Structure 1
């Protein structure tokens, strides 16, 4: 999994001249999934589509919002 996916954004300067990086809301809220969780999300999505609550119900400790956010980040470039 590419760890740079959460660091997309643009650089800006603060009032004291320090450079900061602004990230878009999707990347900022990205939750990292294990390889097993990713595999399950992809397989479940093939079966049930965008039914995030149903998919999240199969992954202990994950919410529908986390699963949907994961899916959105993984597919933003496709």
Structure 2
């Protein structure tokens, strides 16, 4: 049984580290706010081109592909 417990402990540590990373990332994603015109344009563009964030960002002045993707993920 000791071998089983020893095997279990190392598996726990990476999971905890992974969870911590995800929490930090999700906090950064909450900062994206879009106005109604931007939201409408992003929704229409996504229907046309899918997850091509660079292409969509080219149609939304002042927004990066990362901002558009974060907005989309948080909204859906």
TM score, norm. by length of structure 2: 0.63
Structure with greater Cα Rg: 2
Deviations 1:26-48 (A, max 9, x none): 34333100000000000000000
1:61 is paired with a residue whose SS is coil
Show structure 2 runs of 5+ residues with no match: 1-22
Measure, in 2, the Cα distance between the counterparts of 1:46 and 1:27.
27
Matches within 5 A, 1:1-78: 25-30=25-30, 31-75=32-76
CA-atom RMSD, angstroms?
1.4
Structure 1 pair 72–27 and aligned structure 2 pair: CA distance change class (3 A): farther
Measure, in 1, the Cα distance between the counterparts of 2:38 and 2:61.
10
Show structure 1 runs of 5+ residues with no match: 1-22
Runs of 4+ aligned structure 1 residues displaced above 6 Å come to none
Larger % of strand: which?
1
**Does the 8 Å CA contact 1:26/1:69 hold for their aligned counterparts?**
no
TM score, norm. by length of structure 1: 0.62
